[in-house]
Amino acid sequence: MKPLAEAIGKHVRSGAAIHADDTHVPVLSPGNGKTKTGRIWTYVRDERPWGSDVPPAAYYRFSMDRKGIRPAEHLGDYSGFMHADAYAGFEELYRSGKITAVACMAHIRREFFDEAQSNGASTAIEALTRIAQLYAVEAEARGKPSDERAAIRQAKARPVFEDLVRWLQSELLKISGKSDLAKAVRYALGRLPHLEVYLSNGHLEIDNNAAERGMRGMAIGRKNWMFAGSEGGGENAAIAYTLIETAKLNDTDPQAWLTNVLSRIADHPVKRVEDLAPWNFKN
């Protein structure tokens, strides 16, 4: 099934924009009954928000560390936009000039939400209100063609976005530099320049939620199977998640599709393995 997973990965990398994320996974350490920490990475292509009929897909990879070289290996010669968090390991990809970083408003919002919840800071509450205005524009633009999305954002979101930056800069001067609130403001000011590009590009999203949704199954799975039995087990898990999550993204029953694939793949030409992709299967 690995060739099929790799075909899905190729499909993901052929998109103009992808979403990337990673999470930890315990891996059994042979001989001592303990676990080591591995990583599962996901790369998602989902163009449905701007009305594209290109099938969505999620590509997972496993590694025993979180070195920046790993995403470089996973993405190969990919060029385009990548929605991601502030993980420093992605910086090498951006320095190459082939990949443009797109930050995540959900991560920015989360910092202010935590502050609003913990101490009711008025600055945090105001930041959440302003960010909500940007998401309201997204709700209006969702599903429209990319050029219309960009036009709506330029007219309605850009003024709010630019005012948010100016307001945060002024608020930072009024609060204690050592406070958690100041950290949230600095984080926002550091990430917003890497998010501004979404305002003029209708192919991009305001956040990285597509990748975060792709990690939910992994988070639930950790509670059930607890750990991967080996490094090979982690790699097999990545293949399984690639197949199952991509099927789900395409509203395809994973069990029915995989049953069909298993009955055909032995005699199927390797050069045409993408024909077996879930978006080509009829439930």
Distance from C-alpha of 81 to C-alpha of 272, rounded to nearest angstrom: 28
CA-CA distance, 31 to 33, in Å (whole number)?
6
Going residue by residue through the chain, which has 283 residues, state the pLDDT in tens, using 9 for 90 and above. 889 999 999 999 999 999 999 988 878 777 666 778 889 999 999 999 999 999 999 999 999 888 888 999 999 889 999 999 888 888 888 988 899 999 999 999 999 999 999 888 899 999 999 999 999 999 999 999 999 999 999 999 999 999 999 999 999 999 988 899 999 999 999 999 999 999 999 999 999 999 988 887 766 665 555 556 676 788 988 999 999 999 999 999 999 999 999 988 888 888 899 999 999 998 6
Q: What's the predicted TM-score (pTM) here?
A: 0.91
By the 10 Å C-beta count (0-12 exposed, 13-18 middle, 19+ buried), 202 is classed as buried
Q: Which residues 6+ apart lie within 8 Å of 59 measured at CB?
A: 5, 8, 9, 12, 13, 42, 43, 44, 74, 242, 246
What are the chain's domains? 2-102+210-280 (3.30.420), 105-202 (no CATH)
- For residue 225, the model assigns a pLDDT of 58
Beta-bridge partner residues of 58:
44
